[in-house]
């Protein structure tokens, strides 16, 4: 069974774990209002390795959430994963952050016969999102959408719609749809990355470590510091 280091840093949650086959055998996670990834990611990686009394040389691969999400978080997570792949001579696996989030929402949903809509905050009234069916197969491309009260109208028939992620709160006041159910507290976590990482490892679906970059979806636009406004 493959032993894979898992890293997910696309949101304010910094999540690290190690899986062996389909089992998550070590896990550390921090969620802060301010991004702590630069300070804490390497600490968390050391903690899960120390917990199992292994080194990076005992791993078979590294899997990282590729986004979309926070520019800062993605840069830190992907740069760390790539650096460790070089240092330990390991293949790199990437997993969609939205698909990881969709799996987390599905596990919390009351019904599986539904449409699952992970949403990540993309500022203002915009979210990064993708629609998934009950088998977690995407029915749309990944996109940055602006929410309005008719967002789900004529898209999904009579399906129940589960919405979750740090962008889901924007739906409460903007989207008026009786089919919509918001699940609170769902974050992208490596616990939901395990199956996807193993699938890619078994198919040897690895990234080119030298050229791999996060999936930002939108170009980075820096806001001016508040004191300059």
Q: Are residues 69 and 143 in the same domain?
A: no
Q: Are residues 79 and 109 in the same domain?
A: no
Structure tokens at 146: 């602006």
Q: Tell me the per-residue pLDDT of 152-167, one tens digit each, with 9 for 90 and over.
A: 876 666 789 999 999 9
Neighbouring C-beta atoms of residue 40, cutoff 10 Å: 18
Q: Whole-model pTM above 0.95?
A: no
Q: Are residues 62 and 81 in the same domain?
A: yes
**CATH classification at residue 42:** 3.30.420.40
Q: Are residues 7 and 86 in the same domain?
A: yes
Q: Are residues 50 and 121 in the same domain?
A: no
**Taking all residues of the chain, what is their mean pLDDT, rounded to a whole number?**
91
Question: What is residue 226's predicted lDDT score, i.e. its pLDDT?
Answer: 44
Q: How many domains does the chain have?
A: 2
Are 134 and 112 contacting, i.e. CB atoms less than 8 angstroms apart? yes
Question: What is residue 119's predicted lDDT score, i.e. its pLDDT?
Answer: 97
Q: Are residues 128 and 200 in the same domain?
A: no
Q: Tell me the per-residue pLDDT of 204-228, one tens digit each, with 9 for 90 and over.
A: 999 999 999 999 987 654 445 445 4
Give the integer Cα–Cα distance in Å for 26 and 6. Answer: 10
Q: Are residues 116 and 178 in the same domain?
A: yes
- Give the range of the structural domain holding residue 145, as residue numbers without chain letter: 98-183
Q: Tell me the per-residue pLDDT of 120-147, one tens digit each, with 9 for 90 and over.
A: 999 888 999 999 999 999 999 999 999 8
Q: Are residues 63 and 174 in the same domain?
A: no
């Amino acid at each position: 069974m493959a032993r894979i280091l898992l890293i997910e840093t696309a949101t304010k949650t910094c999540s690290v774990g190690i899986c062996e086959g389909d089992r998550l055998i070590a896990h550390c996670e921090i969620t802060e209002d301010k991004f702590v990834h630069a300070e804490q990611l390497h600490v968390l990686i050391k903690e899960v390795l120390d917990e199992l009394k292994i080194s990076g040389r005992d791993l078979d691969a590294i899997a990282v959430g590729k986004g979309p999400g926070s520019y800062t978080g993605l840069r830190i997570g992907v740069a760390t994963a790539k650096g460790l792949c070089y240092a330990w001579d390991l293949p790199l696996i990437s997993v969609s952050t939205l698909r990881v989030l969709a799996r987390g929402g599905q596990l919390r949903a009351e019904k599986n016969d539904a449409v699952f809509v992970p949403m990540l905050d993309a500022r203002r009234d915009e979210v990064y999102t993708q629609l998934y069916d009950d088998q977690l197969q995407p029915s749309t491309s990944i996109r940055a959408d602006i929410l309005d009260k008719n967002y789900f109208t004529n898209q999904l028939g009579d399906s129940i719609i589960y919405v979750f992620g740090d962008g889901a709160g924007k739906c409460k006041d903007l989207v008026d749809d009786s089919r919509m159910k918001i699940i609170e507290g769902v974050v992208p976590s490596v616990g939901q990355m395990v199956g996807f990482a193993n699938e890619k490892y078994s198919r040897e679906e690895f990234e080119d470590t030298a050229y791999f970059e996060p999936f930002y979806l939108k170009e980075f636009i820096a806001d001016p510091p508040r004191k300059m406004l």
